Amino acid sequence: MDSSSYTGLPNKLVQGITSVKSSLTTGHILEKTETTYVEKTDTFHHHMARSVLGIQAPLKLKTELQIASKMGRLPCLPSSRLMADVLRGTNEDISFDDILNNPREYG
């Protein structure tokens, strides 16, 4: 089946709706730093724990974080990721995600 209609325009049912926004904008300057913030802080804490406590501390923390990321709930309930927040020490912090939610989490 041809992906374009008889008029020569793309067929939206076959190809889907094209996003004009992604082709026009590159994103905000802080978007990259905000998306990589958790990974960078985890890496920093792992390096710090390795230099102070030895290699077993970051390995244990990474293992516990992997176990916490695999924990889930029923399919109809979203995970609160409380165990991972406790391991990272961010369970008592009030952040942007706590107030306005993270739109990438549900969509």
- At residue 10, the pLDDT reads 72
pLDDT given at position 3: 59
Q: What is the pLDDT of residue 7?
A: 76
Report domain extents, the chain. Answer: 33-90
Give the three-state DSSP class for 4. Answer: strand
> Which value, to the nearest 10 degrees, does the dihedral of the CA atoms of residues 101, 102, 104, 107 take?
-10
CA distances from 65 to 2, 31, 42, 58 (A): 48, 24, 10, 10
pLDDT score, position 19 = 62
Within 16-95, residue ranges assigned H as helices are 20-24, 31-35, 37-53, 56-70, 82-88
Q: pLDDT (tens digit, 9 = 90+) per residue, 60-88?
A: 999 999 998 887 778 777 777 888 889 98
36, 44 Cβ separation under 8 angstroms: no
Predicted TM-score (pTM) of this structure: 0.59
The tens digit of pLDDT for each residue in 4-61 reads 567 777 777 776 676 666 666 667 888 888 889 889 999 999 999 999 999 999 999 9
**What is the average per-residue pLDDT within 81-106?**
78
Confidence of residue 107 (pLDDT cuts 50, 70, 90): very low
